[in-house]
């Protein structure tokens, strides 16, 4: 099924100046790109625009959150009694110049860099680009307007950015849930379409998960907190045939059922909500599955001794760190006949090798399913799948954690709403 929004295929690009929002919010260390996955993901759209004979292509992205990151780093340095060099820190973490150089290598052509988003010099650099020239703007979040709550301030910045193009392309799904200038407001001033990455996210999340999932549909939801997943759980109850719960949120649900959880992580204020979700699942005829055994320890540590519980209950003084072997077997059997699977959140503390078995087992199970659509909904699940070297075995791995969840919750994302309808 075609997505509801127009894409780069639906507009004339020959001879046009294109301004494109990409998600180049990649991990940086002292000015060096540590992981270019997001940059590589944008290449198909970039190449397509250039192949269509665009006059110029201006790329924009945020990189980190400068004010928040600097504040945090300064506080840590003060706590450790170390001097803090704000300029050195920000140059290494927030400046986009190294990304222009890196993108040039990936594209095999020069990518110009504008050391500012909004100056007259930037406009001049764009006008002087050779036919088919590519330019990357400096970090959009260096400007107050980008994240401003003041509409007039946002529009003022948007008009300048819009002056750099004849067509606006948004390929930054990971930021589509943000109502920022570069993701939303610019689209008010130019024909606005989705890039291929955005198109693929909508095809899988909006169409194959939210609107038209093939049945049986099983969702696997993990992670630490029920509070961060309430909306997505309630939304999924209306769509899935079975819901599998793992990770730290397990213990809040178990407590809601009156099962002993020892000293495991529990959100006390969410126990009633958890009980209500269990009840709603029952009313909706959704099979709701919690782990039936656990790997437990007496302290939260990577190398602490562990044991496996006999059943779902955890003794006093012990805390759950992963799902146990019986739970792995149960969850594997529940997933075996699925035609659609949505997975968000690990089954345990997978950062510690000792407690990664449950999460790895889910990844391996999904990789082995035949004829099923498997969608990994961003965040830690993506890290887990990559860690297990199974990324190429999944139907789709979302590039946006928060954006993926909000779309599955049924929310209208500002960056998507702003694009032209078909």
The Cα 20–Cα 62 span in angstroms is: 12
CA–CA gap between residue 158 and residue 156 (Å, rounded) = 6
417 has catalytic annotation: no
The residues, any chain, with a CB within 8 Å of residue 109's CB and separated by 6 or more, are 134
Annotated active-site residue in 5, 16, 17, 38: 38
Catalytic annotation, pick one of 67, 74, 159, 225? 225
Is residue 402 annotated as a catalytic residue, yes or no?
A: yes
The string of DSSP codes covering 172-204 is: -GGGTTS--TTTTGGGGSS-EEE-HHHHHHIII
CB burial string 154-182: b at 16+ within 10 A, e below: bbebbebbbebbbbbbbbbbbbbbbbbbb
* Neighbouring-strand partners of residue 342: 219, 375
- What residues have CB less than 8 Å from 151, skipping those under 6 apart? none
Which of 174, 223, 262, 379 is flagged as catalytic? Answer: 379
Distance (Å) of CA 97 to CA 61, 115, 127, 314, 394: 12, 8, 19, 52, 33
Residue of 402, 410, 411, 417 marked active site: 402
Q: d(Cα 165, Cα 389) in Å, to the nearest integer?
A: 40
Concerning whether 21 is annotated as a catalytic residue, the answer is no
Q: Quickly list DSSP for 255-321.
A: HHTT--BTT----GGGHHHHHHHHHHHHHHT-EEE--SSEEEESSS-TTS-EEE-SSS-B-TT-EEE
Spatial strand order of the sheet with 373-376 comes to 287-289, 242-245, 217-221, 340-344, 373-376, 396-397
Q: What are phi and psi of 32, to 5 degrees?
A: -120, 130
Output the CA torsion sign for 151, 157, 161, 163.
positive
Unique residue bearing structure tokens 């791995």: 397
Q: Supply the residues annotated as catalytic.
A: 38, 225, 379, 402
């Amino acid at each position: 099924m075609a997505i509801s929004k127009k894409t780069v295929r639906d507009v004339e690009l020959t001879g046009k100046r294109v301004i494109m929002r990409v998600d180049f919010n990649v991990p940086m260390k002292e000015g060096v790109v540590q992981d270019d996955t997001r940059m590589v993901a944008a290449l198909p759209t970039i190449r397509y625009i250039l192949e269509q004979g665009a006059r110029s292509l201006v790329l924009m992205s945020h990189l980190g959150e400068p004010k928040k990151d600097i504040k945090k780093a300064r506080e840590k340095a003060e706590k450790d009694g170390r001097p803090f060099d704000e300029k050195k820190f920000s140059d290494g973490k927030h400046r986009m110049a190294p990304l222009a150089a890196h993108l040039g290598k990936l594209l095999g052509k020069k990518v110009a860099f504008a050391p500012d988003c909004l100056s007259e010099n930037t406009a001049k650099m764009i006008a002087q680009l050779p036919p088919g020239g590519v330019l990357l703007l400096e970090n959009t979040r260096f400007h107050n307007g980008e994240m401003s709550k003041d509409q007039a301030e946002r529009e003022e910045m948007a008009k300048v950015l819009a002056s750099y193009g004849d067509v606006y392309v948004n390929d930054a799904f990971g930021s589509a849930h943000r109502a920022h200038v570069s993701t939303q407001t610019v689209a008010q001033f130019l024909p606005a379409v989705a890039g291929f990455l955005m198109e693929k996210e909508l095809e899988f999340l909006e169409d194959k998960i939210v609107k038209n999932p093939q049945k049986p549909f099983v969702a696997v939801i993990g992670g630490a907190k029920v509070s961060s997943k309430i909306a997505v759980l309630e939304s999924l109850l209306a769509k899935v045939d079975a819901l599998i719960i793992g990770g730290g949120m397990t213990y809040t649900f178990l407590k809601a059922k009156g099962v002993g959880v020892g000293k495991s992580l529990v959100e006390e204020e969410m126990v009633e909500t958890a009980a209500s979700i269990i009840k709603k699942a029952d009313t909706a005829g959704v099979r709701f599955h919690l782990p039936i055994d656990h790997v437990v320890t007496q302290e939260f540590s990577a190398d602490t001794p562990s044991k496996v519980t006999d059943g779902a209950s955890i003794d006093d003084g012990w805390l759950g760190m992963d799902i146990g072997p019986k739970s792995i077997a149960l969850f594997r059997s529940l997933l075996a006949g699925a035609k659609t699977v949505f997975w968000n959140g690990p089954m345990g503390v997978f950062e510690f090798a000792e407690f990664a078995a449950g999460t790895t087992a889910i990844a391996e199970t999904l990789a082995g399913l035949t004829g099923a659509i498997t969608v990994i909904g961003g965040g830690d699940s993506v890290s887990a799948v990559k860690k297990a070297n199974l990324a190429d075995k999944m139907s789709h791995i979302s590039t946006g954690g928060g954006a993926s969840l909000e779309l599955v919750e049924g929310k209208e994302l500002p960056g998507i709403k702003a694009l032209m309808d078909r």
